[in-house]
């Protein structure tokens, strides 16, 4: 899948900085412990060394003295050794505190570096993941589009041409009717079945509901009829009469809602693999069909046709 190669190529790099950080931390900790251990050993041995030094100094300095002079000399050497030992203990405590501070600062710096590196790597991974997701989404959309194109190619397509339209006649009953004739051609690569030619009046606010009405109205009226056309085959319908609903078109030539009437003429058909009805129709532009003095048809040459296909 798109982006998978990029994720695989960055996986070894993701481990380099954490491994280096761990090795540096281990090295610093080992070196610090080694130095501190050596210094502590010297500091802990210092009091004993001072005691031995004081003893040797007392033997050399106090030799030959007697009485109180000998006692004072020995006490002076002991006091000097004790003060030196206390100074060494204070230095040892200070050194341990300094080592502890340095150790804490070192670990804090290492933790900060690891955090920064981890944040950078996490951000890079998020960017790569988002890029991979986007590439996957684009590839999925492209595949769906290709599948849709392939699916739409594997079906019949009916082309409709208007051969005859009109005139409008007034029946003895008072109803108005018009006649039309169509030429139908299957330009697809699969047969079209249950083909029904139909016409209907719709308002100028044409939309999905009007197209659904056209399909349902055609199937309800002509459900028992229908023909089939093989790929490349052409069929010319007979002259069909459409009765105009004068309740929809007023004497002014407008619809009851004040909009311009539209004439929709075409075919409804199905495929051999689906029962979903399809539609190809000619939608005559508003205002170009009926005159302003009532349902009187204008010349066909002045009509504007718009093809609608599903």
103, pLDDT greater than 50: yes
The answer, yes or no, to whether residue 269 has pLDDT greater than 80, is yes
Average pLDDT, the chain: 72
Ranges of each domain in the chain: 4-152, 158-309
Mean pLDDT of 225-248: 80
More confident residue, 291 or 234: 234
Sign of CA dihedral 203, 209, 214, 216: negative
Is the pTM here over 0.85, yes or no?
no
Is residue 163 predicted with pLDDT exceeding 70? yes
Binned at pLDDT 50, 70 and 90, residue 274 comes out as: confident
45 has pLDDT over 60: no
pLDDT tens readout for residues 165-208 = 777 777 777 677 778 888 999 988 889 888 888 887 777 666 67
* Topology (CATH level 3) of domain 158-309: Immunoglobulin-like (2.60.40)
pLDDT at 201: 76
Share of the chain above pLDDT 70, in %: 55
pLDDT for residue 294 is more than 70: no
Q: Name which of 177, 221, 175 is nearest 198 in CA terms.
A: 221
Tell me, what's the pLDDT at 112?
82
Within 10 Å of residue 28's Cβ, how many Cβ atoms? 16
Q: Supply the DSSP string of the chain, one letter for each residue.
A: -TTHHHHHHHHHHHHHHHHHHHHHHHHHHHHHHHHHHHHHHHHHHHHHHHHHHHHHHHHHHSTT--THHHHHHHHHHHHHHHHHHHHHHHHHHHHHHHHHHHHHHHHHHHHHHHHHHHHHHHHHHHHHHHHHHHHHHHHHHHHHHHHHHHHHHSS--EEEEEEEEEEEEE-TTS-EEEEEEEEEEE-SSS-EEEEEEEEEEEESS--HHHHHHHHHHHHHHSTT--EEE-TT-EEE---EEEEE-TTTB-TTSSBTTSPPEEEEEEEEEE-SS--S-EEEEEEEPTTSSB-TTSS-BPPGGG--EEEEE-
* Amino acid 80: pLDDT: 73
Which residues, in sequence order, are CB contacts of 9 under 8 Å at separation 6+?
A: none
């Amino acid at each position: 899948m798109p982006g998978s190669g990029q994720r695989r190529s960055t996986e070894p790099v993701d481990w380099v900085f954490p491994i280096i950080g761990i090795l540096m931390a281990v090295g610093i900790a080992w070196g610090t412990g080694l130095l501190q251990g050596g210094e502590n050993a010297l500091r802990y041995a210092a009091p004993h060394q001072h005691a031995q030094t004081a003893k040797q100094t007392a033997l050399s300095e106090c030799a030959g003295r007697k009485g109180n002079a000998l006692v004072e000399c020995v006490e002076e050497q002991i006091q000097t050794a004790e003060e030196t030992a206390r100074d060494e203990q204070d230095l040892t405590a200070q050194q341990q505190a300094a080592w502890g501070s340095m150790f804490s600062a070192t670990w804090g710096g290492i933790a900060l570096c690891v955090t920064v590196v981890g944040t950078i790597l996490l951000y890079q991974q998020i960017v790569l993941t988002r890029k991979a997701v986007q590439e996957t989404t684009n590839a999925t959309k492209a595949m769906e589009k290709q599948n849709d194109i392939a699916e739409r190619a594997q079906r019949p397509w009916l082309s409709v041409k208007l051969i005859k339209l009109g005139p409008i006649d007034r029946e003895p009953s008072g109803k108005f009717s018009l006649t039309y004739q169509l030429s139908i051609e299957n330009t697809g690569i699969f047969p079209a079945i249950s083909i029904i030619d139909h016409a209907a009046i719709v308002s100028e606010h044409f939309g999905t509901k009007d197209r659904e009405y056209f399909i349902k109205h055609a199937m309800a009226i002509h459900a028992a009829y229908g023909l089939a056309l093989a790929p490349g085959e052409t069929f010319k319908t007979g002259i069909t009469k459409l009765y105009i609903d004068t309740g929809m078109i007023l004497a002014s030539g407008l619809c009851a809602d004040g909009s311009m009437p539209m004439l929709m003429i075409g075919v409804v058909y199905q495929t051999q693999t689906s029962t979903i009805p399809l539609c190809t129709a000619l939608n005559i532009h508003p205002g170009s069909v009926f005159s302003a003095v009532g349902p009187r048809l204008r010349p066909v040459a002045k009509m504007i046709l718009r093809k609608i296909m599903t």
